[in-house]
Amino acid sequence: MYRVRVRSVPPVVLALRRFPNPRLTGIGAGLFAALTMFVLACVDRLLFDSSELVYGLLFLPVSALTALWVRPADLVTAPISVPIAFAVGVFPISGGSEGLGGQIMGLVTALAVHAGWLYGGTLIAGLIASVRKVRQMRARRRYVLAQGRGGAGAPASERAPRSAAASAAAAAKPVRAGAGGAGGAGAVARRPQRP
């Protein structure tokens, strides 16, 4: 008697499966990241007095979620939209002076000061997107190989009717004159002259 061995799933995997798993388009993932970072920056300004550390630490999981939730066709957009979202979110905590020029200078200064967090989040998004793309390509290759084996590995009894039907269809085709037969390879058929 054979025993069926059932592998138990770790509780961490079960907990992760309960999380939402949306598939966002490239634009949707960019909007998600930008709006989330803007809201988190506003919360950071209200609760933590525009802390750079808090904003940077919150940027890393948002980058990972953006790369995880973008659909496979738009994976390339994740590392592009994450830095844009960082720039949108840093605006409330940039602390620029009055006027448009002061706000722009504050934004540029904040981007320069937070460059480490910016590069870190972009690297996380790029790595996750790359791993997902490699896994997608491997799955596609396995599928193509499985389809190829299904056709080539068919039993001879299934292939025989196809070859018989193909040979019957080839026999039914008209043969060109001079293509073979008694005249040989060099014989050329002449069309009858019309009066």
Helix axes 52-69, 26-48, angle to 10 degrees: 160
Report which of residues 1 and 79 the model is more confident about. Answer: 79
Over residues 49-70, the pLDDT tens digits come to: 878 888 889 999 999 999 998 9
**Terminal C-alpha separation, the chain:** 89
pLDDT value, residue 169: 53
Q: Is the pLDDT of residue 154 over 60?
A: no
Q: Is the pLDDT of residue 35 over 50?
A: yes
C-alpha closest to that of 81 among 129, 130, 123, 122: 122
pTM summary value: 0.62
| 8-state DSSP, 71 | -
pLDDT value, residue 120: 92
C-alpha to C-alpha distance for 59 and 40, rounded to whole angstroms? 9
